[in-house]
Amino acid sequence: MQQRRLYDTLLLDLGGVLIDVDYLAAAQAFGQLGFKDFDVLYSKAKQDHLFDGFETGAISPAKFRQRIREILAAPLADAQVDACWNAMLGRIPPERIALVERLKERFQVLLLSNTNAIHVPAFEAIVARENGIHDFKALFHGTYYSCEIGLRKPDAAAFHYVLERHGGDPARTLFIDDSIQHVEGARNAGLHAEHLELAHEDVCGLVERLGLLKQSTSS
């Protein structure tokens, strides 16, 4: 017997939830060029203000690259900076694309990602090449990148900005993210939120465990 639907809207993170991300890979790539301390500046849980500004669009790609050159005291070409920075990006397994499509039949499915203007074309190119999807944003009912909206998780304003544009009720919204600080931010903003612990399961397993695809489509 189907359960009564608890949520109208699902709000998904991108990195870690849908696309595989190795946060140490960028540091390793810079390390291969001789720069060993990049992981001090950037990690999944904590990052330098440079990266925060880049994720909200306050810092342009050109300024970001130049700041990286200054920090590392090296005359790296733009392509070298981009290649190292993008090294953390993996792929989206086809079963996660299929999951989104199935969820869209039952829920309003939105995406909110803390990302930047160098990563966006890089992961969109990966999805086009690996998954044959040439309009990634169209996979969702609404897609929001922090660098485009000037807001980032875990700030409540980021969650409210997205939901207000789709008539989403925070009390009827489930947010899924692999970063606990973002989950806590969503809860503080009035949303329901689930922490995806990647060491134990992926988003397909989480959706199955929560029974989201078994809940009735009637309210």
My answer on whether 114 and 195 are in the same domain is: yes
Number of other residues whose CB lies within 10 A of the CB of residue 80: 17
Q: Tell me the pLDDT tens digit for each residue of 122-179.
A: 999 999 999 999 999 999 999 999 999 999 999 999 999 999 999 999 999 999 999 9
Q: Is residue 218 part of a domain?
A: no
My answer on whether 13 and 32 are in the same domain is: no
- Check residue 219 and give its pLDDT: 45
Give the separation between CA 129 and CA 42, rounded to whole angstroms. 28
Which of these, 23, 209, 202, 189, lies nearest to 98 by C-alpha position? Answer: 202
4: Cβ–Cβ under 8 A, 6 or more apart, which residues?
A: 215, 216, 218, 219
DSSP string, 171-200: GGEEEEES-HHHHHHHHHTT-EEEE--TTT
For residue 6, pLDDT beyond 60 = yes
My answer on whether 50 and 120 are in the same domain is: no
DSSP class of 173: E
**Angle subtended by helix axes 203-210 and 94-104, to nearest 10:** 40
Which of these, 139, 186, 134, lies nearest to 162 by C-alpha position? Answer: 186
CATH assignment of the domain containing 169: 3.40.50.1000
Q: What is the largest CA-CA distance in the chain?
A: 63
**Residue 143 pairs with which residues in a beta bridge?**
111
And the tokens for 145?
A: 């990148």
Please answer whether residues 59 and 152 qualify as being in contact, where contact means their C-beta atoms are separated by less than 8 angstroms: no
- Tell me which of 33, 53, 86 is where a domain ends: 86
And the tokens for 107?
A: 């829920």
Q: Tell me the pLDDT tens digit for each residue of 17-66.
A: 999 999 889 888 988 888 776 666 654 434 557 788 999 999 999 999 99
Which structural domain range is residue 200 located in? Answer: 9-20+93-210
- Tell me which of 35, 59, 86 is where a domain ends: 86
Question: Which residue's entry shows tokens 């990286």?
Answer: 68
Q: Is residue 1 part of a domain?
A: no
* Alpha-carbon separation of residue 78 from 68, 75, 179, 218 (angstroms): 10, 9, 29, 52
Please answer whether residues 185 and 156 qualify as being in contact, where contact means their C-beta atoms are separated by less than 8 angstroms: yes
- Check residue 62 and give its pLDDT: 97
My answer on whether 44 and 67 are in the same domain is: yes
Q: What is the mean pLDDT of residues 100-111?
A: 97
- Check residue 54 and give its pLDDT: 92
Number of structural domains in the chain: 2
Q: Is residue 215 part of a domain?
A: no
Q: What is the mean pLDDT of the chain?
A: 91
- Tell me which of 34, 65, 86 is where a domain ends: 86
CATH assignment of the domain containing 74: 1.10.150.240
My answer on whether 110 and 187 are in the same domain is: yes
Q: Tell me the pLDDT tens digit for each residue of 77-90.
A: 999 999 999 999 99
Give the separation between CA 11 and CA 173, rounded to whole angstroms. 7
Rama region for 31: left / alpha / beta (φ>0; ψ in -120 to 50; rest): alpha
